[in-house]
Amino acid sequence: MNLISFILPSRNNLKYLKQAYRSIRENSEHQHEICIASDASTDGTVEWVQEIMKEDENVKLHINEGPERLGHTILYDTLVYEYATHDRVMIFHADMYLCPNADNEIDKLLEPGRVVSLTRIEPPLHPDGPEKVLVDFGIEPEEFKEEELLKWLQDDADYSDEKYTDGIFAPWCIMKDDFTRIHGHDPLFAPQSKEDSDIFNRFMLAGYEFIQTWQGYVYHMTCRGSRFKDGAKRNPDGQVFMKNRESVEWLKQNLRSTRNFIRKWGSMVNHTNLLKPIIPPKYDIGFILHNCTAPLLYELEPYCNHVYLKDDSLFKDYIEKEQPDTNYDLGSKLATFEVKPFNDVLIEFDVSMLNNTNFTQIFLQLPNILQESGEPDSDFILDIFKIKTKTLDNQVDTLVNSVCK
């Protein structure tokens, strides 16, 4: 078997990490390498890992002393580049339990130019979908029904039809050379959130094939890194729930990363129901905005390369508020009408006339509309939007190796 380096950052997730480690050791056919990063943990993670390293020579440990976290966006790559010694690396979460036969499936399927995902079995914290299996075997290690899970895998999991789909989600395994070729995760999304959607888009642009196997599973307790402020809970009927329980830290970072994802890709995250990325075109777009307000500037700015306003009265406050949350230079992105617009595509409109219908049906679809109906050197009007195109040069392919340093 080709050995795997499991890549496993953790922040104050010791009880989950212990279970993840045990599952890899007990349910794998071979002694794979486990690369762990403690991200400013204060729960005894470092001491526990150091203790098991005395007996397990295939465990590696990276320590972020803190006090600030680095996040798994950074630590995934630290472990891959500085600690992993095998040609195959598996992005794994501390709240996952590796099921039997999973490593054999990876070994059978992985090759250069291909990314292989295992199928997640999850408790019903998130909506159901065709890319996973919803069965409740527990939401915390203390209540984990391991024997019931193993029996379900033996009696009820469908191994008969060699089922494979073409989505991607953690845990996923890739050749280390393929990971390195596109420069890994983008630090723009540190410490977390949307780093996975970004790298999946870039895998697709690089031409990598996605395979999700339904012959290899993990049990995923979900979102234990920082999303839930005090763990998942059950209501009096025993049903698990997450609504209104996200931590303030996670909510702020998710918003920050979402806005940066739009700035980079020109659109929100999009994928098939099996989680294969859908990547719209990206054009050099400038917005010429009339009657703009501070709240509407906040909503519209991420979707374009430049914003042109009547005057600079909104610029200072906006930059002071937003610049700390992005690597994009917002000062060079905002201009007044005194500057001659130079973008390939100019879209002019009165923002006071935006409504839910033209925002969702036209504004958010503009890249696809331009790709399907636009022509170079043309002027046309769609609802409130006056559109002028010089060229329609789709720049999305330039993002395949694009990471902020």
Q: Which domains does the chain have, with CATH numbers?
A: 4-265 (3.90.550.10), 285-399 (no CATH)
- Which of helix, strand or coil describes residue 97? strand
pLDDT in tens, 154-211: 998 876 567 899 999 999 999 999 999 999 999 999 999 999 999 999 999 999 999 9
Q: Which residue has tokens 């920082």? A: 226
Asked if the model's pLDDT at residue 11 lies above 60, the reply is yes
- Which pLDDT value is given to residue 55? 97
| Beta pairing partners, 386 | 348, 381
- Which pLDDT value is given to residue 229? 52
Cβ contacts of 113 within 8 Å, gap of 6 or more: 175, 178, 207, 208, 209
pLDDT in tens, 86-117: 999 999 999 999 999 999 999 999 999 999 99
Separation of alpha carbons 302 and 267, rounded Å: 9
- Which pLDDT value is given to residue 231? 61
Phi-psi region of 228 (alpha: psi -120 to 50; beta: other; left: phi over 0): beta
Q: What is the pTM of this model?
A: 0.95
- Per the CB < 8 A criterion, the answer to whether 283 and 387 are in contact is no
pLDDT grade for 306, boundaries at 50, 70 and 90: very high
pLDDT grade for 119, boundaries at 50, 70 and 90: very high
Retrieve residue 388's tokens: 């002028």
Asked if the model's pLDDT at residue 363 lies above 90, the reply is yes
pLDDT in tens, 311-332: 999 999 999 999 999 999 999 9
Separation of alpha carbons 366 and 370, rounded Å: 6
Cβ contacts of 89 within 8 Å, gap of 6 or more: 4, 5, 7, 80, 173, 174, 175, 176, 179
pLDDT in tens, 209-259: 999 999 999 999 987 656 655 566 677 777 776 666 677 888 899 999 999
Phi-psi region of 34 (alpha: psi -120 to 50; beta: other; left: phi over 0): beta
Mean pLDDT of 17-35: 97
More reliable by pLDDT, 106 or 404: 106
pLDDT grade for 384, boundaries at 50, 70 and 90: very high
Separation of alpha carbons 297 and 295, rounded Å: 6
- Which pLDDT value is given to residue 226? 60
More reliable by pLDDT, 8 or 226: 8
Give the sign of the dihedral formed by CA 296, CA 298, CA 300, CA 305: positive
- Per the CB < 8 A criterion, the answer to whether 382 and 369 are in contact is yes
Asked if the model's pLDDT at residue 79 lies above 90, the reply is yes
Q: What does pLDDT average to over the chain?
A: 94
Asked if the model's pLDDT at residue 276 lies above 80, the reply is yes
Task: From 400, 404, 395, select the one nearest 181 (Cα to Cα).
Answer: 400
**Whether residue 191 has a cis bond before it, omega within 30° of 0:** yes
Asked if the model's pLDDT at residue 358 lies above 90, the reply is yes
Strands (E), 59-198: 59-64, 88-91, 96-98, 114-122, 132-134, 164-165, 172-175
Asked if the model's pLDDT at residue 351 lies above 80, the reply is yes
Sheet of strand 385-389, all strands in order from the earlier edge strand to the far edge: 334-336, 306-309, 285-290, 345-350, 385-389, 378-382
- Which pLDDT value is given to residue 377? 94
